[in-house]
Copies of this chain bind each other. A is one copy, B any other.
Amino acid sequence: MGKTMLGPQTLIYPMLAFLVGANVDGKPNFMAVAWGGIANGEPPMISVAIRHKRYTLKGIKQNMTFSVNIPSTDMVKETDYCGIISGAIVNKTKDCQFKVFYGKLDSVPLIEQCPVNLECKVVHVLDLGSHSLVIGQIEETHVSDSCLTDGKPDANKIKPFVYTTAPATQYQALGKVVAKAFSIGKELKASQ
């Protein structure tokens, strides 16, 4: 099997599709973020990579807080919109008809329509070059009641989606379950 070298690239599959929120000059704004992930277990932390000049980053730095809102497939249009245009130009909350609520932290706008919302306090901002890597401690997690089964979050109801690039930039739903985790691997024999 041959390999082709493509040079240094941010080529991972898939990428995530979050709506990161912050109050900018006192008003809620949201941006689409594909670059991020869980950064720590205890205490729970998440990282998001944001280009320095982005309007939402201004709000994150003003309050040192932000939200991560996980949209479902029926919010793909709004998510894309939040990735196309700047909150410095339009009122995305209004244009997307987001119902904004606040939880434990005063300065963290959360989107009611998103099934999962994380409230985060900034613990680190790393300037890595083109982007700031913002690392936040997750202070509270909200899940829509309609996405719970027996009181637990249910991915089948949350219906998240991912962002993929190459060849096309697109959003994809999750597909079939290919295996149970911490289980199928046991079929391989260990060389002890």
Q: Which residues 23-79 of A sit at the B interface, judged by CB distance below 8 A?
A: 34-47, 49, 51, 68, 70, 73, 76-79
- Quick one: closest B residue to A97, CB to CB? B188
- Nearest Cβ on chain B to A179's Cβ, whole angstroms: 5
- Nearest Cβ on chain B to A125's Cβ, whole angstroms: 12
- Quick one: closest B residue to A151, CB to CB? B4
| B residues less than 8 Å from A35 (CB atoms) | 37-39, 41
- Interface of A: prevailing SS: mixed
- Provide the bound-state CA to CA distance between A15 and B165, in Å: 17
Q: What number of copies of this chain does the assembly contain?
A: 2
B10→A143 contact, CB < 8 A: no
B140→A7 contact, CB < 8 A: yes
A7→B39 contact, CB < 8 A: no
B143→A40 contact, CB < 8 A: no
- Quick one: closest B residue to A70, CB to CB? B13
If the complex has contacts A112-B3, A177-B172, A185-B83, are A128 and B135 also in contact, measured as CB distance less than 8 A? yes
A138→B8 contact, CB < 8 A: yes
- Nearest Cβ on chain B to A92's Cβ, whole angstroms: 9
Instruction: Mark A2-14 against chain B: 1 for CB-CB distance below 8 A, else 0.
Output: 1111111111111
- Nearest Cβ on chain B to A31's Cβ, whole angstroms: 12
B47→A133 contact, CB < 8 A: yes
| B residues less than 8 Å from A40 (CB atoms) | 49, 128-131, 133
| B residues less than 8 Å from A108 (CB atoms) | none
- Nearest Cβ on chain B to A54's Cβ, whole angstroms: 12
- Provide the bound-state CA to CA distance between A34 and B46, in Å: 12
If the complex has contacts A38-B35, A40-B128, A130-B42, are A171 and B178 also in contact, measured as CB distance less than 8 A? yes
User: Can you list 9 A-B pairs, Cβ within 8 angstroms, ordered by A?
Assistant: A4-B142, A8-B44, A12-B116, A16-B37, A38-B49, A39-B49, A40-B49, A45-B128, A82-B185
